Amino acid sequence: MFNTEVLEKHLATSWLGRSVYFFEELPSTNSYAKRIECDSSLHGALFLTDYQTGGRGQYDRTWNTNPGENLTFSLVFEPKKAERFTLLTLACALAVTEVINKYSGLRAMIKWPNDVLHNKKKLCGILTETQFTGNKLERIVVGIGLNVNQVEFPGELREVATSLRRESSKKYSREKLLVEILQNIEYRYRLWNQFNTDLVKQINHKMIGYGEWTNLLLNEEKLEGQYKFLGVNESGELVAVNRELDIKTFSYEQVRVQC
């Protein structure tokens, strides 16, 4: 069982993860964090479960994970505006990537717009959702699934998913990993909120395919011609140039990078 006392004892953040909502079992931390009604601010709240039974991913996919072995959690942010939330997702992906690499010695990389991969297999997926009342932004929920100690992946997942333990043959303390991740995300959130341009550079530095000729997929179909991936811009959109030197900008709904 995840030990929230260990988390609270080691956590050195000033606001992120200071309110912890832990559940032994929950359908989806993102759904819960979006739905929960609260009179006071939830900025920085952490929703965490040991067994997520109805985990959701991007593009209406599911996120299935063994109980008690991985990290499945959501963070609530209450910025004034929802714009640039793709960049916030990437800032969180950068934080997770840095912590993975520091602790495991692996060289995980970010796959635009919301995954962390190692050896072309997914270690971590992020689902960012917004909650509005009318046109007022209530909260941004960043849901993070990080495969930590799971060794066996069923069926089709075996081809596409992996864990820190599988990749590095080591077992990890989920509590200590989460402490480090929250600290790093708190720092990255500050940079995001300050429109810091170094944040964009640091994300691009860890991005799969950055500066390379790559295939882009539109609804699983390959886009005609090749694109040189120039990185992400200050909104988190993908910027690419084709062989005819047309510069194109794509949002996360439009394309995916083939790797």
Minimum gap (Å) between residue 151 Cβ and ligand BTN: 19
Give the residue with the Cβ less far from ligand BTN, 56 or 139: 56
Check residue 63 for interaction with ligand BTN (CB under 6 A): yes
Binding segment for ligand BTN among 11-19, 55-63, 130-138, 172-180 (CB under 6 A)?
Answer: 55-63
Which of 55, 113, 209, 236 touches ligand BTN by CB under 6 A?
A: 55
Strands 216-218 and 256-257: antiparallel
Check residue 17 for interaction with ligand BTN (CB under 6 A): no
Give the residue with the Cβ less far from ligand BTN, 130 or 197: 130
Find how far residue 83's CA is from the centre of its chain.
17
Which residues, 33 to 52, sit near ligand BTN by CB under 6 A? Answer: 52
Give the residue with the Cβ less far from ligand BTN, 58 or 196: 58
Which residues, 69 to 88, sit near ligand BTN by CB under 6 A? Answer: 72-74
Question: Which of 32, 31, 24, 30 is closest to 67 using CA atoms?
Answer: 24
Binding mask 141-180 for ligand BTN (x = CB under 6 A): --xxx-----------------------------------
User: SS3 for 233?
Assistant: coil
Residue 172's Cβ-side half-sphere holds a number of Cα atoms within 13 Å equal to 30
d(CA 5, CA 199): 32
Minimum gap (Å) between residue 252 Cβ and ligand BTN: 11
d(CA 95, CA 73): 15
Check residue 113 for interaction with ligand BTN (CB under 6 A): no
Sheet (strand 256-257) strand order: 221-222, 216-218, 256-257
Give the residue with the Cβ less far from ligand BTN, 48 or 228: 48
CB 77 within 8 A of CB 142: yes
Bond preceding residue 27 cis, omega within 30 of 0: no
d(CA 19, CA 214): 42
d(CA 71, CA 124): 9
Which of 7, 21, 29, 89 touches ligand BTN by CB under 6 A?
A: 29
Contact residues for ligand BTN, defined by CB under 6 A: 28-30, 52, 55-58, 61, 63, 72-74, 115, 125-127, 143-145
